[in-house]
Amino acid sequence: MRQRLAQAGATPTDLVKVTCYLPGYTPGDTGARDAHGFPTGNLLAATLLGIQSLYSDAALFEHEGIAVMDP
């Protein structure tokens, strides 16, 4: 996600919402946001969804983000 943000001239601080899809999620599996360098001060809206599977067995997780940048 950092690479995609950089390509658009944005940084993780421009994120306003992140959704993370985790196959095989169980309660207590947290910390993904902090572990990947997302802002910890002004917390953005975040949704963590436990799902049955992803498009490939090799994929560990999928995430999407919405960033808002000043013009």
Query: In the prediction, which pLDDT does 37 show?
Result: 57
Average pLDDT estimate for 55-68: 92
Nearest to 54 by CA among 67, 66, 64: 64
Phi, psi of 50 (to 5 degrees): -80, 130
Q: How far apart are CA 32 and CA 34, in angstroms?
A: 6
pTM, full prediction:
0.71
Domains of the chain: 2-67 (3.30.1330.40)
The residue written with tokens 């572990």 in the block is 35
pLDDT tens column, 12-55? 889 999 998 989 887 776 555 444 555 566 678 888 888 999 99
Q: How far apart are CA 38 and CA 71, in angstroms?
A: 22
Phi, psi of 7 (to 5 degrees): -60, -30
